[in-house]
Amino acid sequence: MKTLYLLRHGKSDWNSGGPDHERTLAPRGIDAARRIGRFLSELGEVPDRIVSSTAVRAKETVRLAKEAGEWSPEIELEAGFYGTDPDRLLDWVSRLDDATNSVLLAGHQPTWSLFAAGLIGGGQLRYPTAALAKIGLHVDRWRDVDFGCGELVWFQLPRVLKGIGWPGG
């Protein structure tokens, strides 16, 4: 079984100016990214690889999560994640090295919710900023990943971590 974590970027600062790709995180997005990073570490589920969109808000989200959670993998950047669609993302995932058992991808809507829904066989996911999904894929090789081969193991919202007094919140 392979594991895919899909992290949507944190809340962006619409007043940061410049083009969409260059938008930074708002204070709420910074806080949420750190909570999600600590959450994943507390579960003992740090992924083998971390790959982020090149958009500033996605890179900042995953960097803050990594720092807060003290994750060891380096962050890789993938320009193709910005503005992609579920089919192209599936193609990218299918080319992962099989030595990798789990990967966290940081990116954008609407692709993340559409991709997650496709992997788990349908439905609709409301995917707020900095939400993190864990999808178990019923395959031994990444090249065998296809829509419908996965199951949603959990879906975590950072605001819930803050509200329940969880230690990482």
**Mean of the pLDDT values across residues 57-69?**
97
What is d(CA 169, CA 167) in angstroms, rounded to the nearest whole number? 5
Whether residue 163 is predicted with pLDDT greater than 60 in this model: the reply is no
Summary mean pLDDT of the chain = 92
Whether residue 165 is predicted with pLDDT greater than 70 in this model: the reply is no
CATH of domain 2-163: 3.40.50.1240
Tell me the two tokens of residue 44.
């003992």
CA angle 27, 28, 34 (to 5 degrees): 95
Q: pTM of the entire structure?
A: 0.93
**Mean of the pLDDT values across residues 78-101?**
96
CA angle 152, 88, 72 (to 5 degrees): 60
Each domain of the chain, given as residue ranges in start order, spans 2-163
Residue 156 neighbours by CB under 8 Å, 6+ apart: 36, 39, 131, 132, 133, 134
What is d(CA 73, CA 111) in angstroms, rounded to the nearest whole number? 24
Identify the residue with better confidence: 152 or 24: 152
